[in-house]
Amino acid sequence: MEKLKELEIIRFDSDFTKVVGLKRQNLASIKSGKSSFTVKQIHKIYTSYNVNLEWIFGSSKKVFLDEINSNKITN
């Protein structure tokens, strides 16, 4: 989520939570490491923001599936 803010794809946590279907208090719990995203939420992040699943799970440095699309989003 911080990467999406950095690239100005989203501005606020609430932008992200609305799209992903997440309550604000659950996001705080995820940020603190007390809980994790569900499979459904991860799928929503992947489909809504074109985020590379391998990046989400820590096995790739490439954040977006299609770098061309991520450039369009940020420009």
Q: What pLDDT does residue 65 have?
A: 87
- Quote the domain boundaries for residue 30: 2-74
Question: Which CATH number characterizes residue 67's domain?
Answer: 1.10.260
Q: Do 22 and 13 form a contact (C-beta atoms < 8 A)?
A: no
pTM of the model: 0.77
For the chain, which ranges sit under pLDDT 70? Answer: 67-75
Contacts of 49 (CB under 8 A, 6+ apart): 4, 9, 19, 64
The terminus-to-terminus CA distance of the chain in angstroms comes to 18
As for how many domains the chain has, the answer is 1
Dihedral, CA of residue 47, residue 74, residue 24 and residue 46, to nearest 10: 20
